Amino acid sequence: MAFGTIAMIVIMSIFNGFEGLVIDRYNVFYSDVKIEPAKGKYFDLTDEQINALKAIEGVDHLSTILEEDALVEYNDEQYVATVKGVDTGYLNIIGLNEDYIINGSLMLYDDNTSYAIIGAGVRNNLRINVNIPSKIKINIPRKNARLTSIESAFNFEYITPIGEFNVQQEFDEKYVLVPQSFVRSIRGEGEDFSSVELKLKPNADKNKTIKAIATLLPETVVKNRWQQNATLYTVMRTEKWVVFAILTFVILIVAFSITGALSMLIVEKKKDIAVLRAIGASSKTIQQIFLLEGILLSFVGVFIGVFLSVSFCLLQQYVGIIPMPGASFIVDFYPVRMKIEDFAATLSAIFLISLLASYFPTLRAVQNDNISESMRVE
């Protein structure tokens, strides 16, 4: 039971560590709340609506977004990426900071000059050196263009990449961050947006704030951080609890040792059971004695397992015992995060299994009618 407890807590803590690591990286690009059009790719917002959004209780920062799929060119290289046009407040919305910039600097504006910050995957495919001043060509398809030539199908502008970020492969190979005014200069039309992203105040009531936003903009879809990437969160949680179910089954098999130990104990204690019956102990009392002994055996193992697993997790978290294989990971050691709900689930599962494993042998202690007769014969 001790080893089973150690396995459950340690493995689930490692799952929590990887889950937290992945989610932290994803959250660099995901805002607290995102507003998208219910239909189509773009929607219009008036200045009055933007000001009303900013005035909602719980909203800390707001940024309008204009995304376009684009063909990015550098020298003889071409790559299809998503150009994300952002306003000056965007970097206050997400977690992208200098820690994720591996080359160049985190800057989109400098006086009247616009710059691009590109993902590591985009940079690698285009073979750009952001430390050397150069320009990339951003080609955005024209709406309702007649395909008489490739050149006539695109509007384009040049921009200097000044920084390279490395967050997570999905983002690194997809995004080029540019000022929103730069994207509008290429499109040359409209004042629409593809989304609005918001950062909420630390103590904000998220549900109340989202409801207020949905009321203000009824023809939009308002998503919290979890809903923006529900598939990822669901898959990670499912994997964790599938592993928990498998480990619970292992504990169930281990619990047969309790059944065997209690069965042998009952055989050895025939005389004691007969004495208890002789002095008036009821069948229920005898059953409770052996049932509690079985549970006690389990929880001695559980206590040892919890102590050892917590000690190991703390050492792994703060010192690092088991390193990650290879040298291409963003962490050097296996990440661990202990959660109280994992301990509660583990202890509950082991308690139920111990109760079942102890219950059936104790029936023998109260259902054997020959014990008292055996004592009289002796």
* pLDDT, tens digit (0-9, with 9 covering 90-100), for 221-277: 999 888 888 888 888 888 888 888 888 888 888 777 777 777 777 777 777 777 777
The reported pLDDT for the residue numbered 311 is 93
Bridge-based pairing of strands 220-224 and 195-200 is unpaired
Question: To the nearest whole number, what is the mean pLDDT of the chain?
Answer: 84
**Percentage of residues in the chain with pLDDT exceeding 90?**
31
The reported pLDDT for the residue numbered 96 is 87
The reported pLDDT for the residue numbered 259 is 74
The reported pLDDT for the residue numbered 369 is 47
The reported pLDDT for the residue numbered 271 is 75
| DSSP result, 276-312 | HHHTT--HHHHHHHHHHHHHHHHHHHHHHHHHHHHHH
**How far, in whole angstroms, is CA 336 from its chain's centroid?**
13
**How sure is the predictor about 327, in pLDDT bands with cuts at 50, 70 and 90?**
low
Beta-ladder partners of 155: 140
Q: How far apart are CA 90 and CA 87, in angstroms?
A: 6
**How sure is the predictor about 116, in pLDDT bands with cuts at 50, 70 and 90?**
very high
Q: With a cut of 80, say whether residue 345 has pLDDT above it.
A: yes
SS3 319: coil
**E strands within 148-241?**
154-165, 175-179, 195-200, 220-224
**How sure is the predictor about 377, in pLDDT bands with cuts at 50, 70 and 90?**
very low
- The one-letter code for the residue type at 199 is K
- Contact yes or no for 81/175 (Cβ under 8 A): yes
How long, in residues, is the chain?
A: 378
Q: How much of the chain is in helix, strand and coil states, percent to nearest 5? A: 50, 20, 25
- φ, ψ at 154 (rounded to 5°): -130, 150
Spell out the residues 6+ positions from residue 106 whose beta carbon is closer than 8 angstroms to its own. 91, 96, 97, 98, 117, 163, 165
- φ, ψ at 42 (rounded to 5°): -130, 160
> How does DSSP classify residue 193?
B
SS3 358: helix
Residues 208-220 have a mean pLDDT of 91
- The residue among 212 and 354 whose pLDDT is bigger is 212
Burial of residue 289 (CB within 10 Å: 0-12, 13-18, 19+) is: middle
Most confident range, picked from 48-57, 146-155, 287-296 = 48-57
pTM for the model stands at 0.73
Spell out the residues 6+ positions from residue 124 whose beta carbon is closer than 8 angstroms to its own. none
- The residue among 378 and 100 whose pLDDT is bigger is 100
- The residue among 187 and 68 whose pLDDT is bigger is 68
Spell out the residues 6+ positions from residue 221 whose beta carbon is closer than 8 angstroms to its own. 35, 36, 37, 38
The reported pLDDT for the residue numbered 163 is 92
- The one-letter code for the residue type at 264 is M
* Nearest residue to 177 (alpha-carbon basis) of 234, 122, 134: 122
The reported pLDDT for the residue numbered 198 is 93
